[in-house]
A and B are shown apart, each in its own frame.
Chain A
Amino acid sequence: MEEVKIGVYVCHCGLNIADIVDVEEVSKYATTLPAVVVSRNYKFMCSDPGQNMIKEDIKELGLNRVVVASCSPLMHEPTFRGAIQEAGVNPYLFEMANIREHCSWITEDHKEATEKAKALVSAAIRRVYYHQPLEIKEVPVNPNTLIIGGGIAGIQAALEIADSEHKVYLVERDPSIGGHMIQFDKTFPTLDCSACILTPKMTSVGMHPYIELMTYSEVEEISGFVGSFKARIRKKARYVDEDKCNGCGVCVTKCPWKADSEFDLGLGERKAIYTPFAQAVPNIPVIDTEHCAYFLKGKCRACEKFCELGAIDFEQVDQIVEVEVGNIIVTTGYDSFDPTPITQYGYGKFDNVYTGLEFERICNAVGPTSGKIVLKDGSEPKSVAILHCVGSRDENYHEYCSRVCCMYALKYSHLIKERTDAEVYQMYIDMRCFGKGYEEFYKRLSEEGVNFIRGKAAEVTDRAINEDEEGKLIVCGEDTLLCKTIRVPVDMVILATALEPRSDAAEVAKLLTITQSADGFFLERHPKLDPVATMTEGVFIAGCCQGPKDIPDAVAQASAAATRVLALISKGRVELEAATAVIDEEKCSGCRICNLLCPYSAISFIVDEKVSRINEVLCKGCGTCVAACPSVAITHKQFTTEEITAEIEGVLV
């Protein structure tokens, strides 16, 4: 074996490290360790001059191992691996010591920090001594993409990918795509009609030759890995033959049975056979078996009688479809917070207390009131209060800010002012108008004469204490700017309800082996620098499933996720984990313990040879089998027992 020559590079990271850790001492210390040929420290190792320093030392001093002591390897390991590879050294002959996140940033004790940095550097040096060059293998990427969720984010991502002539499977749980956005009336701050800007995109999705749209369908199982996933999708029975139906709607007209419309949040009705809204894509109805008289009582079949195309099929059953894709984008959106538990706001108790989403439907021209802003009794409200932060910024419900409520509350104020003569009162804690054109919109609404009261509403009551309050809903609270409690009698109350994670987000996370952050939304790989990737390669997230956001942000994320997918498709191959496990078949006793432990079924038993063997393509390199092998026959590349032992020795100097 050639002589091991290690170069050690201690980074100051400006003052991030150097302020706490004595970098000079750490690099001096490194020179005392075996096989260390050179040890330097520098202001920014990740900068070009920093990287060049390493490359030059490799050439001039013949280094064949490199240790960089700087930030977390999750930040810059790829940077430095790339640098030494350019200088002709195998990228795996490298190790990082994390003396920033785990050291200078968690303590102010200079001495302890320096001692710890030394220990971490010593561990990296001892460990890298044993590193072996690894070969990175590649497998082809399946150019198809699965997108889960057909709201604005899913639609955007699907179109971006499909427009580059790569196949997309877009799976939507509801009978139509469109998501929450299609339920909205206008969009802030420009007041574009939501449907007007969304339906062209929905139509494009429906007609796109590269998009296979699966509505009324749910993903049940995902297997495989980046480049080659398999998804099992359940297409729920619509009881309408999609190939025969032309969307004429006569079945809907003739159906005598009604149910509450989910699309109108129960404020309106629909038939038992229905499309959720007029511009639905696809424009193919579904039969709701819970309200269809045929399914309930065995007779009716009116829809069937009137369908000239014979598209009604009561015998239809759920279908299971399997698709193969290289990448997955999750765009499952959010749920609207149910304010019923906040009893003091009287939602569900008083007729004219609405959630934000319900009010969207009331404003909508094709909504339950045909866009007229009216009370339950049909009359126009003379005053409306909008209560901010309902379920948001409240640790009894959701600690986070839902980011869109201030703006949609302003939008509602505008719509109320535009369509009625009502006074509008907003009860807010802080106005958060952070986006492009948002503050300007706030100013515009001030001009329109909206009343802003700073204070969180304490209660909505119908108990009047004077004549003016008779028959009104009275919003009580403190006007914190006046230091006075106030009572605002109004006709209608709109609760600016929070955006919350989908009720089944945990199951979806499990399905895709992605994680949720503390608030329940899906966790991105890095909060700033990798916002649409997840810890699972090939699975991306976009839109509100990652956290509350407005439409422009959701669209931007969707495009970002599509770009990430297209980059992989365009490259055409993915690198396999090089740090996999291998079995020394000489040592293998054939006990098969590892076979059962492997979560990827990557280990199979070769009956003829009585040994187990690992499929390197399937192995993800977790090392669980290695730890369990009673014959010590399995080696975990890059995490060998030798390497880890050296590291333990190193941290304990």
Chain B
Amino acid sequence: MKVLSPYKEATDVILEAGGEPLKLCYQCGLCTGICPWNLVRSFVVRRIMHEAQLGATDFGSEDAWTCVTCRACVQRCPRGVEIIDVMRAIRRAVASLGIGVVPDALRISAKNIAGVGNPLGEAPEKRDDWAKDIKVKTFASGTEILYFPCCIPSYDPDVKTVARSTVTIFNKLGIDYGLIGTEAKCCGESIRKAGYEDTFQSLAQNNINLFTSNGVKTVVVSSPHCYHTFKNEYPELGGKFEVIHITQYLASLIEQGKLKLSKKINKKVIYSDPCYLGRHNDIYDEPREILQSIPGLELIEFPDAREDGLCCGGGGGRIWMDTPKGERFSDIRVEQAVEKGADIIAVACPYCVLNYRDSVLSMGKAETIQVKDISELVAEAI
């Protein structure tokens, strides 16, 4: 008979990789009950915590790579366990110590990021190609704002519109902004969550040096993931900048009367809170304020909005990994939106744009519903 004995060495590996919070877990199972995976398949978060406590973690299991880091569990954990930190520690143990298997798709993205500074494996010098036909400035000392669009809007042909809309708005309003150029690299948020700490450190150092040497004081970002790491993780590494998410920035321009939205968008719009904007950084109102100031637009809500909002499935490195049909959160979200009678799903995160657009296409709903980033909607309404 196979008997389990606690294996302290395995626990120690996880603890050393930053899994310290696992000690606090008292096994109530609330995390499992909340985890969105259990809407589509079994994922017993609590058991992962307990296995880690006893050193019984199966480093070869796909469980290590499942968590989307949406923070729904952490937000309500009665012991305040930073469950994401534990998941990340297990991944670090696998990725850096080689004691398990990294899924192929993730390994390729990690290689791309480490090699060329973006997960798509595109050429660094093409980073600003999305803006080729638009007049954009290069950031120079004294420029007020650095606009940092995130790798996906920079390279992905379907999401480029997010960045293009943003600079269109900026140009119309005469905002003093610039792009940092092709030396910029991926912010590193997701690759860090995927366990590649060294890669993250080198990306962060590259960007911090680049920003600092150019005299950047304020960064406006399109991605909540860039927002999260610039705001909460870079300062510890010496990168202290004012970080503003595009929705915060646009909402403040509207409030100051500098941005006036006059064109009507007579549509029913449902807003999906990105995890890294909402639960991770408590930004819930600004995106809604922007949408509500678009004339003709009717804003409706998902049954589980704001703090309870369902993840698109793209966090924690999952954006690079394939999720089989039937297990995609974004499919559930699109269904919910259609059921609510929405014409447009509005989002504020490039990962969400990518996932929801994929879902709409694969579900054959392109006729019924569209997916738009808030910056795209604003560019239309201006």
Contacts and interface: CB of A to CB of B under 8 A. Distances in A.
A–B: direct contact at CB < 8 Å: yes
B27 A395 contact: no
A484 B43 CA distance: 9
Interface in A326-356: 343-344
A395 B80 contact: yes
B308 A478 contact: no
11 contacts: A343-B308, A393-B78, A396-B78, A429-B26, A429-B27, A429-B28, A455-B33, A459-B34, A478-B31, A485-B32, A485-B42
B33 A477 contact: yes
A454 B46 CA distance: 12
Given A478-B46, A483-B47, A456 B28 contact: yes
Given A343-B308, A463-B303, A395 B29 contact: no
Centre residue among A344, A389, A396, A478 by max chain B CB count within 10 A = A478
B308 A456 contact: no
A480 interface: yes
A454 B76 CA distance: 18
Contacts of B303: 463
B308 A455 contact: no
B78 A456 contact: yes
Interface string A519-535: 00000000000000000
A458 interface: yes
A459 B32 CA distance: 11
A476 B72 CA distance: 15
Contacts of B80: 395-396
A280 interface: no
Contact of A455 (B29, B38, B76): B29
A484 B42 contact: yes
A396 B303 CA distance: 23
A478 B303 CA distance: 22
Given A429-B26, A429-B28, A485-B38, A476 B33 contact: yes
Contact of B29 (A396, A459, A478): A478
A460 to B, nearest CB: 11
A458 B30 contact: yes
Point out which of A389, A394, A455, A458 has the most chain B C-beta atoms below 10 A from its C-beta. Answer: A458
Interface in A72-114: none
A478 B27 CA distance: 10
A483 B33 contact: no
A396 B33 CA distance: 17
Contacts of B31: 478
Given A477-B29, A477-B32, 11 more contacts: A389-B28, A396-B76, A429-B28, A455-B32, A459-B34, A476-B33, A478-B29, A478-B46, A479-B29, A484-B44, A485-B38
A362 B29 CA distance: 30
Interface range on chain B: under 10, 10 to 19, 20 to 34, or 35 or more? 20 to 34
Interface residues of A, number: 23
A341 to B, nearest CB: 11
A457 interface: yes
Contacts of A456: 28-30, 33, 78
Contacts of B46: 478, 480
Contacts of A480: 27-29, 32, 46
Interface string A391-404: 00111100000000
A458 B33 contact: yes
B151 to A, nearest CB: 35
Instruction: With a 10 A CB-CB cut-off, give which of B33, B34, B42, B308 has the most chain A CB atoms.
Output: B33
A459 B47 CA distance: 19
A481 B70 CA distance: 25
Interface centre among B26, B29, B44 (most CB of A within 10 A): B29
Contacts of B308: 343-344
A394 B78 CA distance: 4
Given A394-B78, A485-B42, A478 B26 contact: no
B79 interface: yes
A343 B306 CA distance: 12
A348 to B, nearest CB: 16
B261 to A, nearest CB: 32
Interface string A272-283: 000000000000
Contacts of A343: 308
A457 B44 contact: no
B61 to A, nearest CB: 14
A429 B26 CA distance: 9
A485 B28 contact: no
A459 B76 CA distance: 11
Contact of B33 (A395, A454, A457, A463): A457
B17 to A, nearest CB: 24
A566 B38 CA distance: 61
A454 B28 CA distance: 8
Contacts of B34: 458-459
A11 B46 CA distance: 48
Interface string A468-487: 00000000111110011100
A483 B28 CA distance: 11
Interface in B104-132: none
Nearest to B47: A483
Nearest to B27: A480
Contacts of B47: 483
Nearest to A342: B76
A395 B32 CA distance: 18
A478 B78 contact: no
Interface in A233-268: none
Nearest to B34: A458
A323 B104 CA distance: 81
Nearest to B76: A396
Nearest to A477: B33
Interface string B306-328: 00100000000000000000000
A534 B31 CA distance: 41
Interface in A195-237: none
Contacts of A476: 33
B30 A483 contact: no
Interface string B33-61: 11000100010101100000000000000
* Interface hub of A394, A456, A457, A477 (most chain B Cβ within 10 A): A456
Contact of B32 (A393, A394, A463, A478): A478
A108 to B, nearest CB: 21
Nearest to B78: A394
Interface in A375-407: 389, 393-396
A471 to B, nearest CB: 17
Nearest to B43: A485
A479 B34 CA distance: 13
A463 B27 CA distance: 27
A465 to B, nearest CB: 10
B215 to A, nearest CB: 42
Interface in B302-350: 303, 308
A393 B76 CA distance: 12
A308 B32 CA distance: 66
B78 A483 contact: no
Interface string B249-261: 0000000000000
Contacts of A459: 33-34
Nearest to A398: B78
Most buried by A among B28, B31, B47, B308: B28
Interface string A436-459: 000000000000000000111111
Interface in A465-509: 476-480, 483-485
Contacts of B32: 455, 458, 477-478, 480, 485
A478 B32 CA distance: 6
Q: Which of A343, A459, A463, A480 lies at the interface centre, i.e. has the most chain B CB atoms within 10 A of its CB?
A: A480
A344 B304 CA distance: 10
A453 to B, nearest CB: 10
Contacts of B76: 344, 396
Interface centre among B30, B31, B42 (most CB of A within 10 A): B30
B305 to A, nearest CB: 11
Contacts of A485: 32-33, 38, 42, 44
Contacts of A389: 28, 78
